Every structure is written in structure tokens, then in C-alpha cells.
Structure 1
Amino acid sequence: MALRHFFLILLVVSIWAFNNIAIKWGLLDLPPLMLTTLRFVVVALILVPFTRVNLHQLRYLAVLAFTFGFMHFSLMFISLNNTDAGTAAVIVQLGTPIAMLLAMVILKEKLRLVQLLGIAISLSGVVVLSGSPTIPNWWVLVLMLLSAFGWAISNMIVKKSPPISPLTMTGWLSFLAIPIVGCASWLTESDQITLLVNASWRGWFAILFSAIGSSIVAYSLWYSLLKHYNVNLIMPYSLLTPVLAVIMGVLVLGDSMNGFKVTGSLLVILGTAIAVINLRNLRMHAKLARFRYAGRSKGH
């Protein structure tokens, strides 16, 4: 892997990790559903005017607006309003093993024994995390798991949907999610306009960073890297996101650490790594890289 691409990967996962910090700042000024709605408004304003979709694509995007826009993002923002950034990032990471289980059941994709073991380890980490004081109520844990499930089921929908470019999907999904999340905010939250007018830099920074930095810039870089490298080589780096989110939460927000949080986080990340990383493919890529390096050395 070229050194510049490695640093780009680190930039992307750092942006995703810091997004949790930015959202926590924003939640000091704005209620979670309103913050989510404004995020979608900014993304849609930037992307929709420059992209087009047909009616067939629109049907899938309408479903994704609920599963990804409402279930994943809205419930994640609500969860972040009730727990710390690191805990939320770790549990939402369970979307990956949940997606693998759904693919096994719905798409009849086969999972190896080692992958099932990894998923079991991840789920055991949630059991440990449930005892952490950073999760004040059982319903907060349920919301985070539903957010992860929303991400997982969205992956199933994307696999079945007609081809849609990533930025087009992001823009139109955001546009279609605005009335769903906006109505939920109107029904359950109050004084939205007053809070927005009186919001400090933290609220506006959260909106813009989550929309532009995390959604548009980071995902654009990520998909460009996927064009250069095999998925099995790139995807494991995404596991750095919850690790960095935990570290940033402690350093930037002063989040606490306890035995439940440390042990549970390690189990979730380790289990997800075991389930996701294809060691056979990684060894093959490593051998290929050494072969290419040896060839260039002989050429010199």
C-alpha cells in the first residue's frame, strides 16, 4: 500500500471517530433529532442538485431513508445524548457482525466457524458493556443496538438495490430522511427554532462536521481507496474508529474509563476483527506485496 493511501485511511477513520465528539458538542446546544435533521439538510443541499435518480432507485432510497437515516443515525444521536462517545461508537460497531448474520439468514451467505466465533465474542462484549455505568438505562443500550441493526439491514438493502453511486445515495437518502426525522423532532422535541438561533459554535460545528466532514469528505475518500485496494485489505482499518473514539472521548471530553467499558470494548472490537478479517486473503496480499518489492529490488 502506498504511504499516502495509508495516511488517507488514518484520516478517514479519525474523521469518523471525531464525529462522535462533534455530535456530543452539538448535543449541548441542540436536541438529537433536530441535530440529525439539520445534518441531513446540509448533505442534501450540497449533493442533491448535482445528482439524479430514477423511480426504481427511488424506491430503495425511500426504504434506506428509514433504516439508515432514521434507525441508524437518529437512534445513534439519541444514544449519544445519553451515554459517552466511546461506548456508543463501540456498540454501533456491532452493525458489522449483525450484517454478517443477516446475510447468512436472508442472502444465504455461508459463514465459517471462526466468523461465528468472532460474532459470539462481539455479542459477549455487549453483555459486559451493559454493566458499565456509562450506560445509565437499559433502553439506551437497546437504542444503540437498534442503531447498529439499522446499519446492518441497510447493507442488505444496498446489496439488493440497483447500482447507485455512493454520493448520489448519500444525497438522496438524506433528502428523503428529512421529513421522517423532522416529524419525529416536531412530535417529541420543543423550542427547536429558539435553540438553533441561540446555538453556539459547538452546535453549528457539529452540524457541518457531521454532514461535510463525516458524510461527504470521509466517505468519498473511503470509496476512492476501495477502488485501489481489495475490500479485505481496507475494511479491517475501520475497526480503528471505535478505538480512536474511546481515546478521543477520554482526552477531549474527559470520559471516564472503567473495567466494564475496557473489557467490553476489547471483546466487541476483537470479535468483530475475527469475524471480518480474512486472514487467508491478508496473507496472500502480504506475499504479493513482498513479491512485488523483491521484483523492484532486483530491477534496481
Structure 2
Amino acid sequence: MNTRDSLLAALVATIWGFNFVVIDWGMADVPPLLFVAIRFTAVLLPAIFFIKRPDAPWRSILAVGVFMSLGQFGFLYVAMSAGMPPGLAALVLQAQVVFTIVIAAGVLREIPSAAQTAGVALGVVGLVIVGVGRGGHVPLTALALCLLGALSWGIGNVVSRAARVPGGLGLTVWSALVVPIPLLALSLAIDGPAAVTDALTGFGWPAAISTLYTAGLASLVGYGIFNSLLARWPSSAVVPWVLLAPVVAMASAWAILDQRPNAAEVGGGVLLLVGVLVALRPRGAVQEEQDLVEEDLCLT
């Protein structure tokens, strides 16, 4: 990617890394599925009345919403509610990088370069180091739910890339149509009407600020930029940048929640950074131009 888009990708990773602490802080008194429904209601309204629907088939728009929003965050919020700490949740969710590159290679024929493969492998090793050093006390159910969220995100990345929709903000807003009602229905069924009513009537300022951050910055700004990058560049060039998010999440959890990282978290985080640098090593202008031409020929 060029310098401008690389900086945008780094900004998105920073916003998303801090997002995990904000979610944990705001979800204390709100059931997780209801909290996701509220978040994406804020993404949807009033933006949908001012932002044009993206020029893409409805099936692509709705599929992005199902996998990248409903599935990813439904599983993630429930995992965090079940005991997954914010910093570790951010790390485990980065399994989406592997899922995305593998699925994109099979579905879109986007074969990663040797450097990208090596960089992602280093990032995965970093995740494993952190998981082994920190994850023994985490409930297995929470870990499994977080991995399902990562798989859903990976599928959503490939769907977004395949659609090649110009203007990532429109896709972010319109794809949110599929999120609030199904998750509200699930929350009513799982948590019960009384719990949902109590949460809505007692919706305090921590939950409100968390919703503003997650909906405004993480979703509208973050996914608006991210989807636009996926429309312009191969998935294997964009997605590895998200490996920076866990480093931000761990630092934020340490500073705000006093969740001090241990040696495994620090070592794994450093390895993640090295993996990103290796995966995003410049390949040369001529080679990148050839890749983009071949990509266009494959997808037309």
C-alpha cells in the first residue's frame, strides 16, 4: 500500500485497539447482545438518511453486515461478558488475519507473497505466546466464542473485498441494517424482557459514552476507512495492519484498567509488531502494479 493508506490502516488499528477497553468499561450493566444492538442502531441512525446506499447488490451489503458486524461483535461481546479480558480478546480476535488470508486465497485467488506469509506466521506465533502465557485462566467457552467472532470477521473481510464497493462509509452504514433487530430478539430470548427493560431504563453515562465511541469512531470511522482500503488493495496487504490493535489494547488496559501485561504478553506483542513490519515490506512499484492488474483481470 502507499504511505497515505498505510497511515490510515495504522489509525484504524489504534482506534480498534482502544475499542476493547471502551467496550469492557461500558458493558458493565448492559447485556452483551443488547449492547451490540444499541451500538449498531447508533451506527444506522440517523446516518442512513444522509448516506447513499453503496453501489453493490443487496446480497453483498447484507452479507457484510451479517459476518463483519452481527457475527463478529455478537460473539465478541458475549465472549467478553463470559470472562475474556479486553487485551486478550483483542489478541485472540486477530485470528481473523489467518482466516481472511486463507479464505481470500481460496475464494478470490489472492495468493499472499512470501513476505506476507512469513509476517502473518510471526504474528500468529506472537498470539500463541500470549495465549500460552496468559490464557490458562480464561473460560474455554469465552475463548471459543472469541474465535468464532474472528472467523466471522474473516469471512466478512473477504465478502467486502469481493464486492469492491467504493466508499467504505456507505457500506458500513447500510450493512448495519441486519444487526439491531436480530440481536435485540436474541437478547430478549436469552436475557429476558425484564433484564432488557432494566438495562434500557438504567442506561448510564458510561454505556452512553462507550456507545458513542464504538459506533462513531470504531464503526463509522474505522470500518468506513477499512472497507475502502479493502476495495483498493488485496486483503493480504490490508488485514495484517489490524495485528497492531492488540498492542494498543494491552497498553490501554494497563493504563486504564491496571491490567499489567506479563512477559508473554510483552514478548508476543513485540513479535506481532515484527510480523506486521515483515508482512508489509514494500515489494516495489512495478510488482505492485502487476499485482493490481492481475487482480483486476481475475475479478472481471
TM-score by length of 1: 0.78
- 1:85-100 matched pairs, under 5 angstroms: 85-100=86-101
1:78–1:106 Cα change, 3 Å? same
User: Residue 249 of structure 1 aligns to which amino acid in structure 2?
Assistant: A
**CA shift for structure 1 position 40:** 0.6
SS class of match (2:87): helix
Q: CA RMSD in A?
A: 3.7
The CA deviation string for residues 93-112 of structure 1, in whole angstroms up to 9 with x for no partner, is 23223211111122222233
What is aligned with 2:207?
203
Counterparts of 2:232 and 2:120 in 1: how far apart (Å)?
28
Q: CA deviation at 1:36?
A: 0.4
Go from structure 1 to structure 2 and tell me whether the alpha carbon gap of 1:158 and 1:235 turns closer, same or farther (over 3 Å shift). closer
| CA distance in 2: counterparts of 1:119 and 1:228, whole angstroms | 20
- Residue equivalent to 1:156: 158
Structure 1: gaps spanning 5 or more residues: 286-300
| C-alpha deviation, 1:255, in angstroms | 1.2
Cα pair 1:121 1:271 within 8 Å, conserved: yes
What SS does structure 2 have at the residue aligned with 1:245?
A: helix
- Residue 74 of structure 2 corresponds to 74
The amino acid that maps onto 2:282 is L
Deviation per CA, 1:3-47: give whole Å up to 9, x if none: 999987776544322221111111112111111000011111122
Counterpart of 1:217, as a letter, is: V
Report the count of equivalent residues. Answer: 284
TM-score (norm 2): 0.78
Give the match for residue 245 of structure 1. 249
Distance 1:271 1:11 in 2: 18
1:167 to 166, 169, 190: 169
Q: How big is the shift at 1:218?
A: 3.9
Q: 2:154 and 2:235 mapped to 1: Cα distance?
A: 17
User: Which of 157, 182, 185 matches 1:183?
Assistant: 185
Equivalences for residues 54-65 of structure 1 within 5 A: 57-65=57-65
Is 1:113 paired with 2:150? no
Q: Percent identity?
A: 25
Report what 2:294 is aligned to: none
Query: Unaligned stretches of 5+ in structure 2?
Result: 289-300
Which has the larger Rg?
1
Contact 1:236 1:273 (8 Å CA) reproduced:
no
Change (3 A) 1:6 1:279: closer
User: Is residue 67–residue 152 contact of structure 2 (8 Å, CA) maintained in 1?
Assistant: yes
- Deviates further, 93-102 or 159-168: 159-168
